[in-house]
Amino acid sequence: MTPLTPTGGTVGHGPHVPEPQPDSVPIDWQRATQAEDRRRVVRWTCQCKPVVYYLITAGGHGHIERTAPGQTTVQSPRLRYAPLADLWELLLLGRAR
Ligand SMILES: [Zn+2]
């Protein structure tokens, strides 16, 4: 298992998420639940965009959160690190939405 360590940019600047491609994989976004103990934000996308994604780990799993002004924060299903890292890559490539 590849550990996810904080390397993704600095606060205020991260990768930009491109427009999703037509064949992108839909993520089963759910209304965000109460924050877990020991959650760590290890990746985030650029905060100059209205929609910001965060990759969050807690214990042996994690999820992606999506925030947008005026919208309820939503989160992806919980995943183990490897599929979570894959999903994050897909998102940054515009291949998940
Ligand atoms: Zn930016």
The model's pTM is: 0.83
Rg (C-alpha) for the chain, rounded Å, is 13
CA atoms within 13 A on the CB side of 63: 18
Q: Which residues make beta-bridge pairs with 4?
A: none
pLDDT-based confidence at 1, cuts 50/70/90? very low
Q: pLDDT exceeding 70 applies to what percent of the chain?
A: 86
- How much distance in Å is there from the Cα of 1 to the middle of ligand 1? 31
Q: How does pLDDT run across 43-82, given as a tens digit for each residue?
A: 999 989 999 999 999 888 999 999 999 999 999 999 999 9
> How are the residues of the chain apportioned to helix, strand and coil, as percentages rounded to the nearest 5?
10, 30, 60
CA atoms within 13 A on the CB side of 58: 13
* Residues 85-90, mean pLDDT to the nearest whole number: 97
- How much distance in Å is there from the Cα of 49 to the middle of ligand 1? 6
- Cβ distance 31 to 16 under 8 Å? no
- How much distance in Å is there from the Cα of 41 to the middle of ligand 1? 18
